Amino acid sequence: MVDTLHQLKLLARVLVTMLLLSLCSLAARAEPPSLYDRLGGLAPISVVVSDFIDALVPDAVLNSNPAIDAARTAVPPAYLKYHVTAMMCQVTGGPCQYHGRDMRQAHAHLNIQEVEWQRMMEVFKEILAKHQVPQQEVNELLAIMDSTKSDIVVASP
């Protein structure tokens, strides 16, 4: 009798454990990995952002806009790298918090036109290709960039 009770308790414990394990695997399946995780986290994101800023700062198309040219000489690239990395980390689902200005405020004085936006996007795609970011993640990053466009590009009159 004591033996049977003991076996029943053991069986119940095994069943509860199996139930918990299957619930955990269900929960894991329900939450697909964030874009942040799929990009490999903060280290690769910061490297891509750093390369991106290094390519943008001396760019002739962007610097033919005098307001952009003036800002890139006044604003340290390291500061831009810090803010853009924090923002990318946050919006892709990472643990960072962006504390910079909103996109409209940060770019209002730069008079950014469509041609400059297109050039920036071209450079961005080149940097993503250089780092062999997979197409799905490229598409998601491009969509994030696109979502900021109306705050950054000056509307045509």
State yes or no: residue 71 binds ligand HEM (CB under 6 A): yes
Q: Which of 42, 47, 96, 145 binds ligand HEM (CB under 6 A)?
A: 145
State yes or no: residue 148 binds ligand HEM (CB under 6 A): yes
d(CA 54, CA 60): 13
148: which DSSP letter?
A: H
State yes or no: residue 141 binds ligand HEM (CB under 6 A): no
Question: Which segments of 16-155 are extended strands (E)?
Answer: none
Whether 140 and 35 have beta carbons less than 8 Å apart is answered as yes
CB of 120 to ligand HEM, least distance (A): 4
d(CA 94, CA 92): 6
The pattern of x and - marking residues 24 through 63 that bind ligand HEM according to CB under 6 A reads --------------------------------------x-
